[in-house]
Structure 1
Amino acid sequence: MASALGMTAVLAGCGVGGDSGDVTLRLVAADYGDSSANSSKKYWDELVEAYEKDHPGVTVDVTVYSWNDVDREVKEMVDAGKAPDMAQIGAYSDYAADDLLYKASEVLSIPVQADFVPQLADAGEVRSVQYGMPFASSTRLLFYNKSLFEKAGITAPTTWAELADGAEALKAEGVKYPYALPLGPEEAQAETMQWLLSGGGGYTATATGYSLDSTENVATFSWLKNNLVGKGLTGPVAPDKLNRADAFAAFAAGQVGMLNGHPSLMKMAAKKGVKFGMVPMPGVDGPAKVSMGVADWMTAFKQNGHADQIKEFLTFVYSEENVLDFSREYDLLPVTNSASLVMSEAAEDADLKPFLDQLPLSELYPVGRTSWATVSADIKQRIGQAVTPSGSPAGVLGQLQATATTVESGSAG
Structure 2
Amino acid sequence: MQLNDEQKVDEAVERRRFLGLTAAAAALATTGTATGCGVLGGGDGNVTLTVVAADYDLTGGDSTKRYWDGLVAAYRAKHPEVTVQVRIESWNDVDRTVAEMVKAGEAPDIAQIGAYADHAAADRLYSADELLSIPVQANFLAPLIAAGENRRTQYGLPFVASTRPLFYNRDLFEAAGAQPPTTWAELAAAAEKLKAHGVPTPFALPLGPEEAQAEAMMWLLSGGGGWTDAAEHYAIDSEANIRTFEWLRKNLVGKGLTGPVAPAELNRKAAFAAFAEGRVGMLNGHPSLVKEAAGKGIRVGQVPLPGIDGKPKTSMGVADWIMGFRQNGHRKEIGDFLDFLFSDENVLKFAGDNDLLPVTLTASARMETDPQHANLREFLKALPDTQLPPVGKTSWAAVSENIKQNIGRAVAPGGRPAEVLGAIGRAATAAEAAE
Q: Classify the TM-score, shorter chain.
A: over 0.9
Aligned amino acid, residue 310 of structure 2: G
Cα distance in 2 for residues equivalent to 1:162 and 1:144: 13
TM-score where L is the length of structure 1: 0.94
Structure 1: how far apart are the matches of 2:387 and 2:232? 16
Map of 1:243 onto structure 2: 267
Q: How does 1:279-290 map to 2 (within 5 A)?
A: 279-290=303-314
3-state SS of paired residue (1:62): strand
Q: How does 1:357-368 map to 2 (within 5 A)?
A: 357-368=381-392
Q: Name the structure 1 match of 2:10.
A: none
Aligned pair partner of 1:228 in 222, 244, 252? 252
- Show the counterpart of 2:407: 383
Q: Report % sequence identity.
A: 61
Deviates more, 1:191-200 or 1:48-57: 48-57
Counterpart of 1:25 in structure 2 is: 49
Question: How far 1:62 moved relative to its partner?
Answer: 2.7
Partner of 1:272: 296
Give, in angstroms, the shift of residue 349 of structure 1.
1.4
Task: Name 2:30's counterpart in structure 1.
Answer: none
Alignment partner for residue 74 of structure 1, among 84, 98, 103?
98
CA-to-partner distance for each residue in 1:125-184, whole Å, 9 max, x for gaps? 011110000001000010000111011101100000000011111100110000000000
- How many angstroms does 1:58 deviate by? 3.5
1:12 deviation in Å?
A: 6.8
- How many angstroms does 1:50 deviate by? 1.3
Aligned to 1:102: 126
- 1:150 aligns with 174
Contiguous gaps of at least 5 residues in structure 1: 15-20
The 3-state SS of whatever aligns with 2:48 is coil
Confirm or deny that 1:119 pairs with 2:121.
no
Contact conserved, 2:208 with 2:266, CA < 8 A, in 1? yes
Which residue does 1:293 correspond to in 2?
317
* Cα shift at 1:31: 1.1
2:120 and 2:40 mapped to 1: Cα distance? 23
CA RMSD after TM alignment: 1.6
* Aligned mates of 2:190, 2:118 — CA distance in 1: 43
Q: Could you tell me whether the CA contact under 8 Å between 2:126 and 2:325 is conserved in 1? A: yes
- After superposition, the Cα gap between the structure-2 partners of 1:36 and 1:396, relative to the gap in structure 1 and judged at 3 Å, is closer
Looking at structure 1, the residues matched to 425 and 114 of structure 2 have their Cα atoms a distance apart, in angstroms, of 23
8 Å contact kept, 2:182–2:307: yes
Residues 1:9 and 1:361: Cα distance change in structure 2 (over 3 Å): farther
- Is contact 2:42-2:85 (8 Å) kept? no
Q: Which residue of 2 aligns with 1:313?
A: 337
Q: 109-118 or 34-43, which moves further after superposition?
A: 34-43
For 2:244 and 2:37, the matched residues in 1 are separated by: 41
Partner SS state of residue 407, structure 2: helix
SS in 2 for 1:64: strand
Residue 179, structure 1, aligned to residue 203, structure 2 = yes
Give per-residue Cα distances to partners, 1:236-285, cap 9 Å, x unaligned: 00000000000000000000000000100101101110111000000100
CA–CA distance in structure 2, aligned partners of residues 5 and 292 of structure 1: 32
Indicate yes or no: 2:90 matched with 1:62.
Answer: no
Mean CA deviation greater in 207-216 or 110-119: 207-216
Q: Report the Cα distance in structure 2 between the residues aligned to 1:200 and 1:28, rounded to whole angstroms.
A: 38
How has the CA–CA distance of structure 1 residues 378 and 95 changed in structure 2, closer, same or farther, with 3 Å as cutoff? Answer: same
SS of 2:192's equivalent in the other structure is helix
Cα distance in structure 2, aligned partners of 1:6 and 1:185: 27
Cα displacement (A) at 1:38: 4.6
Read off the aligned partner of 2:116 and give its amino acid letter: Y
Rounded to whole Å, the distance in 1 between the matches of 2:353 and 2:231 is 35
- Give SS of 1:395's match: helix
What SS does the aligned partner of 1:61 have?
strand
Distance in structure 2 (CA, Å) of the matches to 1:215 and 1:324: 41
Report if aligned partners of 2:187, 2:306 keep a CA contact under 8 Å in 1.
yes
What do the CA deviations read for 1:339-397 (whole angstroms, capped 9, x no partner)? 01101111111110100000122100101100100100000000000011121000000
Q: Which runs of 5+ in 2 are unaligned?
A: 1-33
Report the count of equivalent residues.
402
Amino acid at match of 1:98: A
Q: 1: distance between equivalents of 2:216 and 2:322? A: 26
Note the C-alpha offset of 1:11: 7.6
Larger deviation: 51-60 or 242-251? 51-60
Instruction: Check whether the contact 1:5–1:70 (CA below 8 A) recurs between aligned residues.
Output: no
Is the Cα contact below 8 Å between 1:9 and 1:26 reproduced in 2? no
1:191 aligns with 2:215: yes
Change (3 A) 1:352 1:86: same
Q: Determine the C-alpha separation between the residues in 2 that align with 1:311 and 1:372.
A: 27
Q: TM-score scaled to structure 2, two decimals? A: 0.90
SS of the aligned residue for 1:281 comes to: coil
AA of the residue aligned to 2:49: L
Partner of 1:18: none
Q: Which amino acid aligns with 2:180?
A: A
